[in-house]
Amino acid sequence: MPTAGQNAAPVKKTRAPTTSFSEDVFPIFKGRCIDCHRPGGAGYEASGLDLTTYDGVMKGTKFGKMVIPGDPDTSNLMWLLEWRGKPETRMPHGQKQLSICDRTAIRRWILDGAPNN
């Protein structure tokens, strides 16, 4: 068995989440996304994505998951919000892009493991 400093496996450090779904992320969705991404909304009808609840966010769309906890770079939600795709897939659709602060808050929440907090 290796002693400290001799080929020991790295210790994964855990930290408390720095972003809250209810206080930081949901208000962004409420202000910019829920008009379309709620049952009966155009975005919901097109994709199945319901942003009115944590469970809806984590369920994703009829095409797949939107959030990969701990991995914002492969989360489709960030891909769409950071406008990395075709213009017709950029979100929020037909509006200006979310602010850097808003995108950073969502990215940080995903990086924190996308907790329901």
Which string of b and e fits 41-67 if b means at least 16 CB within 10 Å? Answer: bebbeebebbbbebebbeebbeeeebb
Whole-angstrom distance, CA of residue 102 vs CA of residue 71: 17
Domain boundaries, the chain: 21-111
Q: What is the pLDDT of residue 18?
A: 87
Write the CB contacts of 101 (distance below 8 Å, at least 6 apart in sequence).
Answer: none
Whole-angstrom distance, CA of residue 7 vs CA of residue 44: 51
Torsion of CA 77, 83, 87, 89, to 10 degrees: 0
**In the chain, beta strands by DSSP E:** none
Whole-angstrom distance, CA of residue 94 vs CA of residue 44: 15
Q: What is the pLDDT of residue 42?
A: 97
**Residue indicated by tokens 């290796």:** 2
Q: What is the pLDDT of residue 10?
A: 45
Reported confidence tier of residue 6, pLDDT bands at 50, 70, 90: low
Reported confidence tier of residue 17, pLDDT bands at 50, 70, 90: confident
Provide the whole-model pTM. 0.85
Q: Report percent pLDDT > 70 for the chain.
A: 87
Three-state DSSP at 55 gives helix
Q: 2 pLDDT exceeds 50? A: no
Per the structure block, which two tokens stand in for 3?
């002693």
22-63 per-position pLDDT tens digit:
999 999 999 999 999 999 999 999 999 999 999 999 999 999
